[in-house]
Amino acid sequence: MVLEIDPIINLTYYHVANDVPEISPNIAVVIDVLRATTTISWALKNGADSIQVFADLDSLKESAFRWNADQRVMIGERGGKKIEGFDLGNSPLSVTKKAVYGKRLFMSTTNGTRSLEKVQHANHLFAMGLPNRRAVAEKIISLKSKNVLILGSGWEGSYSLEDSLAAGALASYLKKNYHSEVNILNDELQSALALWQIWENDILGCLKTATHGKRLTSLGDYEEDFKCCAQLDCLDIVPAQVERGVIRAS
């Protein structure tokens, strides 16, 4: 009898979309803790049929207006604020079952949807926040793929602490639970792992310390958003791209 050996997983982390080379990875995981990928995960948990993501607002409107108004929800955010004329802003608390159940969500945010568009050519594309870290990690393990690209969305092309924290959380889980070797291929991910080791027992504190966390705090009372985004491994949802730019629960 020949024993099947799991392949080595090679993990690479880019902390902003601008740094990603023009490649088509086998697996890409996009992270935007505050708040796009957290919002996507909760929307699917609450029964949204699908989420179509856009970097460009005009493209979003053109696609959305082809849909029956009763079957669509338009989510728009720039600079942390809801865009005028859109149904919802970019908050995981807004995508309630009443608001999204059975509907197609058309979504554009400052950072997260741009990152999803950047790696939409991946064979497998997943959106991850901290609440569904374990679910996404287990999906990666089940696929037994050799190469995984992790992409943090950052803030307008610059580094974000909270996305690197989540990248480190994902790498840490894979290293502890995968039955073969996990290779960390770049210093960015080594740093993310170290960041996770420092903050894993105070995730909420890290999110509030981050520059983007402070930015949200300056805009209003986002305490409940912070708490929601800081939850770890509480969702079994894996948001996966099923066609170019369209995400469903897998």
DSSP-derived letter for residue 3 is P
CA separation for the pair 210, 213 (Å, rounded): 5
| Domain total in the chain | 1
In the predicted structure, residue 3 carries a pLDDT above the cut 80 = no
Assess if residue 2 is contained within a domain.
no
CA distance between the termini of the chain: 33
CATH number at residue 64: 3.90.1560.10
Cis amide prior to 66 (ω within 30 degrees) = no
pLDDT in tens, 151-209: 999 999 999 999 999 999 999 999 999 999 999 999 999 999 999 999 999 999 999 99
In a domain, 4, yes or no: no
Contact 87, 73 (CB under 8 A): yes
| Residue 191 belongs to a domain | yes
| Residue pLDDT, tens place only, 88-118 | 999 999 999 999 999 999 999 999 999 999 9
Note whether residue 1 is domain-resident: no
pLDDT reading at 2 higher than 70: no
Helices 223-230 and 36-45, axial angle in degrees (round to 10): 80
pTM for this predicted structure? 0.96
The span from the CA of 175 to the CA of 20, in Å, is: 23
Q: Answer whether residue 155 is part of any domain.
A: yes
- Whether residue 3 is contained in a domain is answered as no
Range of the domain at 69: 9-249
DSSP tag of 66 = T
Q: How many CB atoms lie within 10 A of CB 42?
A: 27
Q: Over 80: is that where the pLDDT of 5 sits?
A: no
Q: Residue 53 domain-assigned?
A: yes
% of the chain at pLDDT higher than 90: 93
Give Cα separations from 157 to 62, 110, 147, 154, 216 (angstroms): 26, 10, 24, 6, 17
Q: Is the peptide bond before 248 cis (omega within 30 degrees of 0)?
A: no
Place of tokens 């960390």: 184
Contact criterion met (CB below 8 Å) for 209 and 168: no
